[in-house]
């Protein structure tokens, strides 16, 4: 299979998402159904959207769906436990998805879905979610699994819009102070204040 990517630029630090084919292989293949499958059942659509990842993985003869990027997903320890932050800039993002990576999976297997939530009323701006107690969101609580790679993305159920996702590796959260946020796919850490100004920097 030949993989290709639809690039989207990070709000922080530049660069592109995904950065390489290894990043492609780590991303989820679970959430396309939440944003709508291809209307024509006779055309195979293998675009996989982890509610926040601007990624299109294709095989020969398949369609590519491009997702617009608006905002950023981050993870913080501000309250003493992992908390997901979503900064929505131009579109209300009402879907949050947490998945594991593709370690040990066959090509036709989907990434394990660890958490999935939908907002009662999607909002723009800054939104916090405690995955263990997702008040205001529908979906079961999930205790963060610190020993595995965790991918967190956010998107819209109504538009092809997503925030740039965050990939958290084992040990990453131990590095965070309460006023810091991890973003992107390289373990980058920014201040909470810098994260909240992300829309103005775009």
- What are 100-129's pLDDT values in tens digits? 988 888 988 998 999 999 998 898 999 999
pLDDT category, 41, cuts 50, 70, 90? very low
Is the bond preceding residue 187 a cis peptide, omega within 30 degrees?
Answer: no
> Given this model, what pLDDT does residue 195 score?
96
d(CA 167, CA 72): 12
Q: What does the pLDDT read at residue 114? A: 95
How far, in whole angstroms, is CA 43 from its chain's centroid? 26
The answer to whether the beta carbons of residues 186 and 117 sit under 8 Å apart is: no
Q: Measured between alpha carbons, how far is 127 from 136 in angstroms, rounded to an integer?
A: 11
Residue 202's pLDDT band (boundaries 50, 70, 90)?
A: low
Residue 140: per-residue pLDDT: 96
Mean pLDDT value across residues 4-25: 34
Question: How does pLDDT run across 50-90, given as a tens digit for each residue?
Answer: 433 433 322 223 344 467 888 999 999 988 999 999 999 98
Question: How far is Cα 80 from Cα 171, in angstroms, rounded to an integer?
Answer: 15
Tell me the whole-structure pTM to 2 decimals. Answer: 0.70
Residue 85 has what DSSP assignment? E
pLDDT, tens digit, 9 for 90 and up, residues 134-188: 998 999 999 999 899 999 999 998 888 999 999 999 999 999 999 999 999 999 9
């Amino acid at each position: 299979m030949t993989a290709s990517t639809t690039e989207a630029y990070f709000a922080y630090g530049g660069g592109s998402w995904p950065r390489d084919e290894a990043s492609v292989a780590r991303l989820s293949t679970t959430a396309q159904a939440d944003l709508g499958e291809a209307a024509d059942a006779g055309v195979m659509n293998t675009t996989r959207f982890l509610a926040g990842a601007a990624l299109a993985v294709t095989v020969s003869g398949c369609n590519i769906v491009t997702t617009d990027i608006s905002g950023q997903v981050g993870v913080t320890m501000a309250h003493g436990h992992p908390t997901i932050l979503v900064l929505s800039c131009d579109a209300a993002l009402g879907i949050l998805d947490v998945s594991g990576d593709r370690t040990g999976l066959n090509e036709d297997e989907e990434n394990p879905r660890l958490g999935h939530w939908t907002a009662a009323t999607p909002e723009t701006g800054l939104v916090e979610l405690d995955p263990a107690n997702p008040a205001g969101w529908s979906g079961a609580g999930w205790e963060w699994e610190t020993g595995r790679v965790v991918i967190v993305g956010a998107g819209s159920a109504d538009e092809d819009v997503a925030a740039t996702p965050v990939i958290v590796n084992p040990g990453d959260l131990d590095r965070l102070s309460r006023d810091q946020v991890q973003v992107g796919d390289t373990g980058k850490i920014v201040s909470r204040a810098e994260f909240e100004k992300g829309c103005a920097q775009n």
